[in-house]
Structure 1
């Protein structure tokens, strides 16, 4: 496999690519490195490769004409990639895909980057090694080279070595131990010393599942899980973000389609569906708020039927869901109830199907921000009926969550659908 490294600092690669398995792979003809020094193609006396950006701004850019000459000097560039924080993340799947290529060209930027027109001239794929900024693309290129080269048959010496590592099966790897068996009371797990290969395989799989759920739950959706894997994950005790999340459905004050402040009726469907969401995701509770006495009485009659009456006996699962529901006059009463339960004042976030277009309005909250709150304190997430929450409710919130479909101009989900989607994004199975 041939790597063509386009850089203004080709010597950057010399030491890391001349040691260890990479050195051995070159000696065995498995990999070859072609260093393309961009400065060799600069024509002025100073060998300048950069210039100031149009439109002003800090830093310098690698010049297009010099980069084009450097690129055109490569006879067989193969797959062309540029290391950039704009790129798609480098994953094990991408590394495996690249390991089948005969030629890969890696473009390493410096300074503020490279003239954008280079992307118009060549079929270049942007790739990133993480959401952070480096001084240049060389360090990132080394990460890509090693992740790809080690998957080439013969590189690792033992071809199975790369198949049981983290991410190879969509999971983190299991722990490893070697001699001595006992170090100051820290012993190697008994199962690894017993010689039962079936038990060892099961232990390793369970450790991989445990490590992934605890340390990288975000990659679980892409993992291939058996029914046995899922059954094991269900047995794990963990602290769930959902325990700190409370939802409220506000029926007053809300807006009608004319923007007027009104009260909206409590509905059977809303209470049923939102209570099931609260129970399914292990939320702290669900509040329906309305100051209208006959509406509260109607809601309470429904709750009594399912929690204590005939509905409880007929459908215990629904009764369990309704155990999460309380009916109060307003959001302030819900806040007080959460304080009484948890000993903490909840942080208040509102939802809206519309972007806040008021002048100097704060940017909409992200799901990551709310998850950060949930890790440390109770959060009350307020949903509105009708055509959305009135300003007096919105103004009490610390922030307004970004709409479910914020890049689309059609955003008319039922409140029940919006609740299910938003709660799943915040505290889905992995969290």
Structure 2
């Protein structure tokens, strides 16, 4: 396989390409690499490769004439990739795809980037190695070369080493140990010394699943899992810190806005109580508060709960009762906050929700807050929370469909989506 690397700093690659397995692959001719410097194609005596950006701004931009000449000098450019932050993330699937090519050309940007017209003039795909800012594309290019080369037959020496590596099966790899058996008081896990290959394989699978769940739960979306894997993950999830217990919901029926933008009260509904309670139980949150100051509404809610918790419904559908045990009927958000403070030892941070434009908090930010403190997510009925409720909140969560011009989900649907984005199994 052949790599062309377009770079203003070919010396960057001088030593690293001759180290370890990559160096051996080059010596054996398994891969070949050509370094092309666009400066060699510059048409002026200063060998200029950059210029000021149109529209002003800091820094310089790589200019196209020498870069285009460098690319057109290649007899066989093959698949062309520009290393840049906006690109498709480099992952195992992409590396496998590139490994099926005979020739790959990697373009390393520098300065503030490359004139965007490059992507109109050449069949360039973009690749990113992560959400970080680097000095240029040289380091990412090396990552691509190594990730792709190690997939070539014969590169690793032992194919079983490749088959068990991180990301190959969509999971993080299990931990490794070697001699001595005890180091500074820390022992190698007993199962690895047992000689029982079935037990060792089971332990390794479990630890691979544990690492993925704890460190990269997003990988579980695409990982191929067996039924026993799912059972193991469910058991492992019970061992994790229960950030969900720090999360609470409040469904406010007053004060909320009516269609004329006036503050008032609305009646509670059976479906809101039932469905949001079931979501709350599914995601394991600390509690669900139904807020209404109207005594007749509180009495109605109490009769409904009594039916499912102590009446005929308790025997007919115990699962429904398990969910409804999370429900508390209170006058307002302040009473909900006081109840949470008694339970958790601290007042919760109040976060409003809204279907309107705006919202200064992301789902990820709320998830991070839950690591250290309790959070009460405040949902409104009617036409949304009244300003006198919102002013007591520390922030407002973005709408679940931030870019849509139609944002009229039921509060039950919105609650389910919000909980999944904050507490979903896959991060």
* TM range, smaller chain: over 0.9
Selected match of 1:375 from 371, 391, 395: 371
The aligned residue for residue 26 of structure 1 is 26
Stretches of structure 2 lacking an aligned partner (at least 5 in a row): none
- Between the aligned partners of 2:163 and 2:14, the Cα distance in structure 1 is 28
Can you list the C-alpha shifts for 1:309-344, whole angstroms capped at 9, x where unaligned?
Answer: 221122111111111000111111111111111011
Distance 2:178 2:296 in 1: 71
> By how many angstroms is 1:203 displaced?
1.2
Q: Distance in 1 between matches of 2:224 and 2:320?
A: 32
**Does residue 327 of structure 2 align to residue 325 of structure 1?**
yes
SS in 2 for 1:235: helix
Match of 2:387 in 1: 391
Which residue in the other structure is 1:360 paired with? none
Question: How far does the alpha carbon of each residue in 1:150-186 deviate from its partner, in whole angstroms, 9 at most, with x for none?
Answer: 1111111112221111111111101112222333443
Displacement of 1:135: 0.5
The aligned residue for residue 359 of structure 1 is: none
Return the offset for 1:138: 0.2
- Residue of structure 2 aligned with 1:300, choices 279, 299, 302: 302
Counterpart position of 2:49? 49
Aligned to 1:118: 118
Between 1:183-192 and 1:209-218, the stretch displaced more is: 183-192
Cα RMSD after superposing both structures: 1.2
In the alignment, structure 1 segments of 5+ residues that lack a partner are: 357-362
CA deviation string 1:352-377 (max 9, x = no partner): 11103xxxxxx531111111111110
Deviation per CA, 1:98-136: give whole Å up to 9, x if none.
Answer: 111111111101110000110111111111111010001
Aligned counterparts of 1:376 and 1:343: Cα–Cα separation in 2: 12
Question: Aligned residue for 1:191?
Answer: 191
Match of 1:341 among 340, 343, 361: 343
Deviations 1:202-248 (A, max 9, x none): 11111101111122222222211111011112222111221111001
TM-score, normalised with respect to structure 1: 0.96
Number of paired residues? 425
Whether 1:415 and 2:411 are equivalent positions in the alignment is yes
The equivalent of 2:276 in structure 1 is 274
SS in 2 for 1:126: strand
Partner of 1:40: 40
Worse-superposed segment, 187-196 or 254-263: 187-196
Q: Secondary structure at the match of 1:161?
A: helix
1:174 corresponds to: 174
Q: In the TM superposition, what are the counterparts of 1:150-165 in structure 2 within 5 Å?
A: 150-165=150-165
- Give a deviation string over 1:40-87, Cα, whole Å, max 9, x none: 011111111000000111000000111111111111111111111111
Matched, 1:69 2:69: yes
